[in-house]
Copies of this chain bind each other. A is one copy, B any other.
Amino acid sequence: MHQLLPFADRLETAVRRCHNPVLVGLDPRRESLPSGFLAEGGDVGAEETAAAYGRFCRGVIDVVAPLVPAVKPQAAFFEQLGPAGMAVLAEVIRYAQQKELLVIFDGKRNDIGSTATAYADGLLGSDGQSVWGADALTVSPYLGDDSLQPFVDVAAKRAAGIFVLVKTSNPGGRMLQDLLAEGRPLYRHVAEYVEQQAAQTAGRCGYGLVGAVVGATYPAQLAELRAAMPHTWFLVPGFGSQGGTAADVAAAFDAEGRGAVVNNSRGIIFAHRSKPYSQRYGDRGWQGAIEAATRDMIDQLRSTTPAGKL
């Protein structure tokens, strides 16, 4: 096993190598797979669906691996299929890494103390350091600092990273995240913790191993948080299907175009189902649709955001 660079530096290197910050979300959904992946009509079992998810995700990875720095498998869609889905998730992670993609496991996991350590130990660490082998993991902050610390500690040992939910892309996120506490919204309290941990773990690139999830659907907050969190990588969901545009995410980057990866899940992996790609590629051309959608997103981010400097 060779010595891994810190996650923040590996992410920066990958983004620079690809000249774009696109993160492709692997969110397989039974009802959206191109035709031919699952038998039509009748009940299809979890095992068979899981196998189809595996074939589909490998097909997505084959297309995007030469183009983008990282993928983000969404654990929920694999867990939905039970143990068979989880086995395929592990295979998909390995396959992506064989293709030189960084893998951010989107599990929004957390728990207290030694239980948080169990999640971190199992999930964090590529190159055979952990059983799942993810380069990074999304983590939920409601349980507080002593629940986040085990993830930070394990990530530091294994050159891995975490992305803590700060300001999420969904409308209901405001219920707790926007509540004013001690003169500022709750998400700023989480942001302070994250930035402090990021600063303490900053690598060569100036960013640390603790990142933040900040939705594309709140551009003002993206700008505010970018200014407040100079050592923090942003994982920006909400682009595309959820309504975020390239202009909306421009504020997520630093002046050199670094510091953020922008996720797109359905808009890329199921491009064959939506205009304009559906017309040009259709179901059979699903991989062509994925490539076109990925290249279009890259172009939009290059022309509209500081990521064009990469």
Contact A179–B173 (Cβ < 8 Å): no
Contact A176–B83 (Cβ < 8 Å): no
> Which residues of B lie under 8 Å from residue A148 when comparing CB positions?
172
A180 contacts chain B at the CB level, 8 A cutoff? yes
> Which residues of B lie under 8 Å from residue A115 when comparing CB positions?
27, 74, 76-77
> Which residues of B lie under 8 Å from residue A190 when comparing CB positions?
176
A81 contacts chain B at the CB level, 8 A cutoff? yes
**Choice from B85, B108, B181 contacting A109 with Cβ under 8 Å:** B108
> Which residues of B lie under 8 Å from residue A89 when comparing CB positions?
83
CB nearest to A114 among chain B residues: B29
> Which residues of B lie under 8 Å from residue A4 when comparing CB positions?
none
Contact B79–A145 (Cβ < 8 Å): no
A119 contacts chain B at the CB level, 8 A cutoff? yes
Contact B86–A123 (Cβ < 8 Å): no
Contact A143–B168 (Cβ < 8 Å): yes
A207 contacts chain B at the CB level, 8 A cutoff? no
CB nearest to A88 among chain B residues: B83
Per-residue contact bits, chain A 147-183, to B (CB 8 Å; 1 contact, 0 not): 1110000000000000001001111111111011110
CB nearest to A123 among chain B residues: B79
**Choice from B122, B145, B182 contacting A172 with Cβ under 8 Å:** B145
CB nearest to A165 among chain B residues: B142
Contact B82–A122 (Cβ < 8 Å): yes
**Choice from B74, B83, B112, B181 contacting A180 with Cβ under 8 Å:** B181
> Which residues of B lie under 8 Å from residue A79 when comparing CB positions?
118-119, 122-123, 132
Nearest chain B CB to A155 CB, angstrom units: 15
A144 contacts chain B at the CB level, 8 A cutoff? yes
> Which residues of B lie under 8 Å from residue A140 when comparing CB positions?
108, 110, 140, 142-143
Query: Which one of A89, A114, A174, A182 has the highest number of Cβ atoms from chain B below 10 Å of its Cβ?
Result: A114
User: How far does the alpha carbon of A149 sit from the alpha carbon of B175 in the complex, in Å?
Assistant: 13
- Of the A-B pairs whose beta carbons lie under 8 Å apart in the complex, a sample of 19, sorted by A's number, is A76-B118, A79-B123, A82-B86, A82-B132, A87-B87, A108-B109, A108-B111, A108-B143, A112-B170, A113-B170, A141-B176, A142-B142, A144-B170, A144-B173, A144-B176, A146-B172, A179-B181, A179-B189, A186-B186
Apart from A144-B176, A180-B182, what 14 extra A-B contacts exist at CB < 8 Å? A76-B118, A77-B118, A79-B123, A82-B131, A112-B173, A142-B176, A143-B172, A144-B175, A146-B172, A148-B172, A175-B189, A176-B189, A179-B179, A180-B181
